[in-house]
Amino acid sequence: MNCTRCDGTGFLNLHQIPDSELYHLDSPEAIAEWMERNQDNDVQVCDCCGNGESHYGTPGEHDSKDYGKSGPYAYNGGLPECY
């Protein structure tokens, strides 16, 4: 299931990255590196498909195997916030 909070990107506030730079950031790792180099913005790992610092699995996606009381969504009754 695609995360609707981040529109499947795995990141929040991507609009704060200039389009000319975002065009060249072709992977979640590249975006994370950009975030390290540019700390004066609010771009962050999505807090629905990740924990704000890293992703639970594939960025922007929820894997149903992670649902349940013992998975990363346990804090929310076992389901992602955007479910």
**Prediction pTM value:** 0.88
- Euclidean distance between CA atoms 21 and 19, whole angstroms: 5
Confidence band of 61 (pLDDT split at 50, 70, 90): very high
- Single-letter amino acid code for the residue at 82: C
- What was the pLDDT predicted at 52? 86
- Output 72-76 pairs: Cβ under 8 A, ≥24 positions apart: none
pLDDT at 59: 95
Per-residue pLDDT reduced to its tens digit, 6-58: 999 999 999 999 999 999 999 999 999 999 999 999 999 999 999 988 999 99
